[in-house]
Amino acid sequence: KLVSKKWKAKPTSVDLGDNIFIKDGEMAVITGPCSIESEEQIRAVVAHCIENDIKMMRGGVFKPRSSPYAFRGLGLEGLKLWHEIASEAGIKIVTEVMQTSQIEEMYPYVDVYQVGARNSQNFNLLDELGKVDKAVMIKRGISGTIEELLQSAEYVFSGGNEKLILCERGIRTYERASRNTLDLNAIPILKAKSHLPVIVDPSHGIGIRAYVPQMALAGVMSGADGIIYESHEVPEKAYSDGQQTLDFAQSARLAAWIRESFAMR
């Protein structure tokens, strides 16, 4: 496979511009709400990122919701507004693309296209992202194996897009005490098998706010190249995933802990 270390020994460095990279040997900190909700909310998160030297912000404008009645995002208009505010602050945008028709309309406003867990094996979407000249982060499928994640990455990489990032976000197991089971094992295994950077999402991985920091740190110590977690000014009021979202004080502390842990690794 082209994404394997056997094919390419040198770690792939994903360049987002302005001297911002997701790569081996650096710790990428990505935070933001589950969903982009309003201009006020965007401004609050951007200010939080600036204060804490966080250069990449996450947020969904097209939301894959388990219920069709749940909030499904602000769409392209929300993304344009977010881009206006974030780019002025020098902050990169990580956001989910749900279908091929969105790739082109999102292109001017996105820095990393996120492929969600539910779309991890949407091979048409992966094929199309393979033709794009912009970074792609693929999340592991809800019940996806490590091998399946690597095969999904292969679709994009073999299509010509080498700006690829893998994301462990927890898998479905028999355990119901947590939302998902964060598979820390996947991190050293993915790092050994592939030259691509690996990011950990402890928010979706455990799904419980109080335990997100320790799982983030476990991810750092497992060898991850970055952490992506959900934060919001008032998590209790978040339109989605509030139960696993950190407030800004918790987020600030965690960002510092992540960097300290990485420095000790």
Nearest CB to Mn ion, comparing residues 34 and 45: 34
64 binds, options Mn ion, ligand PEP, none, Cβ within 5 to 8 A by partner type: ligand PEP
The window from 17-25, 48-56, 113-121, 209-217 that contacts ligand PEP (CB under 6 A) reads 113-121
Place of tokens 């998902």: 180
Tokens (6 digits) for 200: 């950990």
Q: Is 72 in the site for ligand PEP (CB under 6 A)?
A: no
Q: Is 241 in the site for Mn ion (CB under 5 A)?
A: yes
Tokens (6 digits) for 47: 């200010």
Geometric angle at alpha carbon 2, from 111 and 25, rounded to 5°: 55
For ligand PEP, the binding residue among 55, 139, 195, 209 (CB under 6 A) is: 139
Which residues within the stretch 143-202 sit at the binding site for ligand PEP (CB under 6 A)? Answer: 169
Q: For Mn ion, what does the binding mask look like between residues 5 and 34, x meaning CB under 5 A?
A: -----------------------------x
CA distance 192 to 238: 37
Q: For ligand PEP, what does the binding mask look like between residues 22 and 61, x meaning CB under 6 A?
A: ------------x-------------------------x-
CA distance 181 to 125: 26
Which residues within the stretch 208-247 sit at the binding site for ligand PEP (CB under 6 A)? Answer: none
> In terms of Cα–Cα distance, which of 151, 106, 127 is closest to 2?
151
- Gyration radius from the chain CA atoms: 17
CA distance 84 to 65: 26
Residue 56's SS3 state is strand
Which residues of this chain interact with ligand PEP, rule CB under 6 A? 34, 60, 64, 116-118, 139, 169, 204
